[in-house]
Amino acid sequence: HIGRGLYYGSYLYKETWKMGVVLLLMVMMTALVGYVLPWGQMSFWGATVITNLLSAFPYVGDVLVQWIWGGFSVDNATLTRFFAFHFLFPLVIAGATILHLLFVHETGSN
């Protein structure tokens, strides 16, 4: 969908484009936190690696990672937070989708 938008120049409608990119990122985050929920070895290490990528942000990265983990390592608190995120993100995505469709209605579709 984003590739089609690039081809047809939909990125010129800034608000609509930004909302679409935010939707893509939110769906990817929902998939990531859902991947962790089975809580096997792959899930554990997936959560560890992906959340550690956030530590690359200067000043706030380490604090952000510890907040997401709920401590100093991936543990049961992390699983609880990811379950909550996995439940709440689709609600936010639904609201953002409505906003995106309103923007598309205003600007028109190509």
What is the per-residue pLDDT across 14-66, written as a single tens digit (0 to 9) for each?
Answer: 999 999 999 999 999 999 999 999 999 999 999 999 999 999 999 999 999 99
Q: Is the pLDDT of residue 110 over 90?
A: no
pLDDT of res. 63: 95
Q: Is the pLDDT of residue 72 over 80?
A: yes
CATH superfamily of 2-107: Cytochrome Bc1 Complex; Chain C (1.20.810.10)
For residues 110 and 85, give the distance between their C-alpha atoms in angstroms, rounded to a whole number: 34
pLDDT of res. 108: 84
Q: For residue 43, what are the contacts with CB-CB under 8 A and spacing of at least 6?
A: 35, 36, 37
Q: The whole model's pTM is what? A: 0.87
